[in-house]
Amino acid sequence: MDHRSEIREFLTSRRAKISPQQAGLPSYGTRRVPGLRRAEVAQLAGISVEYYSRLERGDLAGVSDSVLGALARALRLNDEEGIHLRDLARTAGTGPRRRHRPAPRTVRPSVQRLLDSMTEAPAFVMNGRGDVLATNALGRALYAPMVDAARGDTPNHARFIFLDERSHRFWGDWERAADDTVALLHAQAGRDPYDKDLTDLIGELSTRSDDFRTRWARHDVRQYHQGSKPFHHPVVGDLCLIYESLDLTADNLTLVAYGAEPGSESDDKLRLLASWAAGDNGERQPYEPTRRSTDRS
């Protein structure tokens, strides 16, 4: 990934989404390209056109917080996009030799014990690239299709979504899962563009998946701390689970735990999944994948 290109494409993609009318500016005639012109962004941000043009060429080194805030307001960035802009600026000022402390490839024993103590909630720990580094028993059961698809390697959300057709059956809303995953990778790229494993992952997916390339070109960024996700599990069928994320700041990792509304059908199915995960002898039993009429194959 080229950091200057990332800055340029992020800024141009954001101004392309805003019409002069939305920004409260007059518009005359037909525009060749959608969105605001550079001069209009500069006017809204209170900076010179020359200075904004320099920023949009990818040079954010040394930009003050006040200018970044003015740009965020001019481009109507949401909270996640504003954080991403600041991440891009911070990285632009550090140079390629000062990199983030790499996330570990395994979890500490105390983190695994914490996961294992969560017996009624599927839970896992992942890094910013979407690698699933550890799970509890119910987490392995919930993500069985992705774990099995990894064939002994570290399961990765993006590889499963974009390179394995089974993901279309597993995710209750595949389009949303794909959008969210790419947006999370973009946010991670802003925080640490010199992560070689991340660069390799993005290169692999860009080469092998049209769906990924299309979404990567949008430059959407997002962070997800809580919400809900629909699944179609091969054993228990459709269920909708609520998730909460917790940053493990000491390790630069994230713990994600799922639950269901008490008394709901998803709650019953989650209990059924726990029974299947345990099996009669404490070992997970093999499953026979089910199919839906909406399967994509």
Residue 21 sits in a domain of what CATH number? 1.10.260.40
Give the CA angle between residues 14, 16, 22 to the nearest 5°. Answer: 90
Q: Which amino acid is at 195?
A: D
In a domain, 154, yes or no: yes
**Does residue 236 surpass a pLDDT of 70?**
yes
Phi-psi region of 51 (alpha: psi -120 to 50; beta: other; left: phi over 0): alpha
Per-residue pLDDT, averaged over 184-209, amounts to: 93
State whether 88 and 118 are in the same domain.
no
Do 265 and 119 reside in the same domain of the chain? yes
Which residues are bridge partners to 257 per DSSP? 123, 244
Q: Are residues 77 and 156 in the same domain?
A: no
Are 118 and 228 in a shared domain?
Answer: yes
Strand, coil or helix: 45: helix
pLDDT value at residue 287: 38
8 Å CB contact between 174 and 168: yes
Considering the domain architecture, whether residues 79 and 170 belong to the same structural domain is answered as no
Lowest mean pLDDT among 190-199, 244-253, 279-288: 279-288
Band (pLDDT 50/70/90 cuts) for residue 244 is very high
Task: Assess if residue 291 is contained within a domain.
Answer: no
What percent of the chain clears pLDDT 70, i.e. is strictly above it?
90
Alpha helices per DSSP H over 152-229? 157-163, 167-170, 174-191, 196-208, 210-216
> Does residue 28 form part of some domain?
yes
Angstrom distance (rounded) from CA 231 to CA 63: 43
Tokens of 234: 């091969």
pLDDT band at 207 (very low <50, low <70, confident <90, very high): very high
Q: Is residue 297 part of a domain?
A: no
**pLDDT value of position 12:** 95
| 42, pLDDT greater than 60 | yes
Instruction: Dig out the tokens for 129 from the structure.
Output: 């690239």
More confident: 94 or 133: 133
- List, for residues 75-119, the tens digit of each pLDDT value: 999 999 999 999 999 888 754 444 556 667 889 999 999 999 999
Which of helix, strand or coil describes residue 34?
Answer: coil
Q: Which one is predicted more confidently, 293 or 152?
A: 152
Res 33 pLDDT > 50: yes
Residue 72 vs residue 101, higher pLDDT? 72
pLDDT confidence of residue 103: 66
- Rounded to the nearest angstrom, the gap between the alpha carbon of residue 138 and the centroid of all alpha carbons in its chain is 23
Return the bridge partners of 74, or none: none
Token pair of 80, please? 């996640």
Q: How many domains does the chain have?
A: 2
Out of 70, 94, 118, a domain closes at 94
149/144 Cα distance (integer angstroms)? 8
Q: Is the pLDDT of residue 289 over 50?
A: no
How far is 125 from 182, CA to CA, in rounded Å?
Answer: 18
In a domain, 63, yes or no: yes
**Residue 69, domain extent:** 3-94
Question: How confident is the prediction for the chain on average, in pLDDT?
Answer: 89
pLDDT grade for 34, boundaries at 50, 70 and 90: confident
